[in-house]
């Protein structure tokens, strides 16, 4: 694991402890039986009963376990040992069968050797990946013939705006050098924590599609949405159930995209 990814892992160890009890993630509602999945992925993936599902960058496992509640045979993967430990504890507490693996994504083939009917990833995952080609190769490695890869993600246009959401500040186009930030608070709220230097990468939509195609996947669709499904940025405001737009730019800007591909 390189130093930049290791620095990010330290942040996610801290955030996993915060998120497991946060109102943002609605953990108590999940314990009571409510799904943590959103309407977009539920509609666009469809039935998962009796299908094997690999969830990449699964955090502390709520979405993974939500798929299991729908009948999928799930395996969740994340590079944070704290997150994976919490996922395992939550599965045991609720009696939901699931496998969780702690591994940095590109090192996953060293510890997991099988294929899946569905490979899934969602919401805020791409910016933590230094290299999209290596990511796409991992996706293709784990997707069984005839299986589907599905992702729903924050649109790269959203990542162009400054922290207040007023104006464009960052490039839309992918660059090899990471953006460097210092984090002291999670997007999910909670108390401030000691500063952690982190590294993120912008990936434009064309590069995402190209990386997957280069890895041998066939793109079925790419959908773009003028809203996102949670208030993960302070400049977002709610306009309906699971629909949030930019306060200063409420119309005409894509905030989410989804993609489905097959082998």
Helix/strand/coil (H/E/C) assignment for every residue in 236-260: EEEEECCEEEECCCCCCCCCEEEEE
pTM: 0.96
Q: How far apart are CA 2 and CA 252, in angstroms?
A: 38
Tens of pLDDT, residue by residue over 144-166, are 999 999 999 999 999 999 888 88
Residue 232 within a domain? no
Mean pLDDT of all residues belonging to the chain? 95
Look at residue 248 and tell me if it is in a domain. Answer: no
What's the pLDDT score for residue 175? 86
Domain-located, residue 174: yes
Assign residue 128 the CATH number of its domain. 3.40.50.150
As for how many domains the chain has, the answer is 1
Structural domain contains residue 240: no
- For residue 39, CA distances in Å to 147, 152, 220, 229, 258 come to 21, 11, 19, 9, 12
Residue 40 lies in a domain: yes
Whether 166 is in a domain gets the answer yes
Domain residue limits at 27: 3-226+254-262
Report the length, in residues, of the chain: 263
**233, part of any domain:** no
- CA dihedral for 239, 202, 109, 150, sign (positive or negative): positive
Query: Are the C-beta atoms of residues 236 and 245 closer than 8 Å to each other?
Result: yes
CA dist., res. 160 & res. 33, Å (int): 37
The reply to whether 236 falls in a domain is no
Condensed to tens digits (0 to 9), the pLDDT of residues 159-198 reads 999 888 888 999 999 888 999 999 999 999 888 999 999 9
Residue 145, H or E segment: strand 143-154
């Amino acid at each position: 694991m390189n130093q930049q990814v290791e620095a990010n892992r330290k942040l996610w160890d801290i955030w996993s402890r915060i998120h497991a009890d946060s109102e943002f993630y609605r953990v108590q509602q999940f314990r009571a039986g409510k799904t943590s999945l959103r309407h977009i992925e539920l509609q666009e993936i469809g039935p998962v009963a009796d299908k094997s599902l690999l969830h990449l960058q699964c955090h502390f496992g709520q979405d993974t376990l939500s798929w299991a509640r729908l009948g999928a045979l799930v395996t969740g993967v994340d590079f944070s040992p704290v997150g994976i430990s919490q996922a395992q504890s939550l599965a045991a507490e609720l009696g939901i069968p699931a496998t969780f693996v702690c591994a940095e994504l590109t090192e996953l083939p060293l510890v997991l050797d099988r294929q899946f009917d569905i490979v899934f990833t969602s919401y805020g995952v791409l910016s933590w990946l230094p290299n999209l080609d290596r990511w796409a190769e991992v996706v293709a490695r784990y997707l069984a013939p005839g299986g589907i890869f599905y992702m729903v993600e924050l649109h790269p246009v959203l990542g162009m705006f400054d922290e207040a959401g007023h104006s464009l500040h960052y490039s839309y186009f992918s660059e090899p050098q990471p953006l460097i930030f210092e984090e002291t608070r999670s997007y999910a709220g909670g108390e401030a924590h000691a500063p952690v230097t982190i590294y993120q990468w912008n990936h434009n939509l064309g590069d995402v599609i190209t990386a997957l195609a280069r890895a041998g996947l066939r793109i079925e669709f790419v959908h773009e949405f003028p809203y996102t499904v949670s208030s993960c940025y302070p400049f977002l405001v709610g306009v309906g159930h699971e629909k949030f737009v930019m306060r200063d730019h409420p119309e005409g800007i894509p905030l989410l995209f989804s993609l489905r591909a097959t082998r």
